[in-house]
Amino acid sequence: MPEILRSNAKVNLCLRITGRRADGYHTLSSIFQEIDLHDRLTFTPAADYSLSCDNPQIVCGRTNLCTRAYVAMQQIANSPSNWHIHLEKRIPIGAGLGGGSSNAATVIKFLNQVWQINRSESELLQITTRLGADVAFFIRGKTQLAEGIGEQLVPITLPEDFIFLLICPPIQVSTRWAYQQFNLTKKKEGYKFRRLFESGRIRWELFENQFETVVFPAYPEIGIIKNQLLQKGALYAGLSGSGSTMFGIFKDRHCAASARQLFTNYPTFIALPVIN
């Protein structure tokens, strides 16, 4: 029988670039938040592995993160059965929401269970290092402080409830390009999350995403969306990752739905943070 699993997106509530390693990778400090906007992965028993997708933009060959995750797990499994995976895409592509990384983590967790590999979370995290830094976050998901290149993860708890309004302009911003454009003289210390959550509230005024300093001049349309979200009453508005998704933080669904009416020219989503 087929098994259907959700594969949730994430947003970077904040992001600072803290340095650059000798191997060329940049280090960062960010808070990753899992949200309930999701793709669906259907796993069907099959004679051989294969991958399909309802979105023709997705390349289903050997470079796809789902396939790479499948092969990585196959290498440590004992005589595994095979599965066909069908991916239904709802998370916008190349928008800073981690859809591909989430899909890969979903494959890893499913195969760990169904093939009875039974690796611990910490062991699965080590497997993800070959696939990409964001994949590690989705093994545990929820809310985590991320440092290093995104692989140093510490679960945290947010003291307030809120809701997201996501605005997804049809622009794909290359993360590689964004890092190349960033002036490392503007780097800051990492986030001290205790400062962000004082007196039982979130201090949104301390949040920022430093990628905005390079993305907004190159793509002014994205910066305009941020200003519009703030004008519509967002507690905070920011870029997720290197974009192009902008999100607004609102206190409840009514406020988010009211603001959503301004953005009829873009794909929009109202999403809840995943905390349990």
**Domain boundary residue among 134, 155, 176?**
155
CATH of the domain at 260: 3.30.70.890
User: How far is residue 110's CA from residue 250's CA, in Å, rounded to a whole number?
Assistant: 34
pLDDT of the residue at 8: 98
Are 126 and 196 part of one and the same domain? no
Are 150 and 190 part of one and the same domain? no
Q: What is the pLDDT of residues 58-109, one digit of tens each?
A: 999 999 999 999 999 999 998 789 999 999 999 999 899 999 999 999 999 9
Mean pLDDT of the chain: 93
pLDDT of the residue at 235: 97
Residues 34, 143: contact at Cβ < 8 Å? yes
Q: Please check whether residue 276 lies inside any domain of the structure.
A: no
**Domain boundary residue among 155, 186, 218?**
155
What number of CA atoms fall less than 13 Å from residue 45's CA on the CB side?
Answer: 5
| C-beta neighbour count of 36 within 10 angstroms | 14
Q: Please check whether residue 134 lies inside any domain of the structure.
A: yes
Residues labelled catalytic: 10, 134
Q: By CB neighbour count within 10 A (0-12 exposed, 13-18 middle, 19+ buried), where does 239 fall?
A: buried
Are 143 and 125 part of one and the same domain? yes
Q: What is the pLDDT of residues 132-186, one digit of tens each?
A: 879 999 999 999 999 998 889 999 998 899 999 999 999 989 988 999 998 887 7
- Characterize the bridge pairing of strands 50-53 and 82-88: parallel
pLDDT of the residue at 193: 67
Are 120 and 213 part of one and the same domain? no
Are 85 and 185 part of one and the same domain? no
User: How far is residue 38's CA from residue 250's CA, in Å, rounded to a whole number?
Assistant: 20
User: How far is residue 71's CA from residue 127's CA, in Å, rounded to a whole number?
Assistant: 11
Residues above pLDDT 70, as percent of the chain = 99
Distance of CA 53 to the CA centre of its chain: 19
Q: Please check whether residue 124 lies inside any domain of the structure.
A: yes
Paired residues of 13 in beta bridges:
none
Are 30 and 130 part of one and the same domain? yes
Q: Please check whether residue 22 lies inside any domain of the structure.
A: yes
Are 199 and 131 part of one and the same domain? no
Nearest alpha carbon to residue 98 among 184, 11, 3, 179: 11
Are 63 and 190 part of one and the same domain? no
Are 109 and 195 part of one and the same domain? no
Q: Please check whether residue 58 lies inside any domain of the structure.
A: yes
CATH of the domain at 118: 3.30.230.10
Are 40 and 76 part of one and the same domain? yes
Record the tokens describing residue 139, joined without a space: 């093994």
Are 56 and 170 part of one and the same domain? no
**For residue 270, what are the CA distances in angstroms to 155, 198, 251, 255?**
24, 27, 12, 11
User: Would you say the pTM of this structure is higher than 0.75?
Assistant: yes
Q: What is the pLDDT of residues 30-55, one digit of tens each?
A: 999 999 999 999 999 999 999 999 99
**Domain boundary residue among 128, 155, 182?**
155
Number of domains in the chain: 2
Rounded to whole angstroms, the maximal C-alpha distance in the chain is 58
Residues 101, 67: contact at Cβ < 8 Å? no
Task: Note down the domain range covering 144.
Answer: 3-155
Are 175 and 119 part of one and the same domain? no
pLDDT of the residue at 183: 82
User: How far is residue 96's CA from residue 173's CA, in Å, rounded to a whole number?
Assistant: 8
Residues 191, 241: contact at Cβ < 8 Å? no
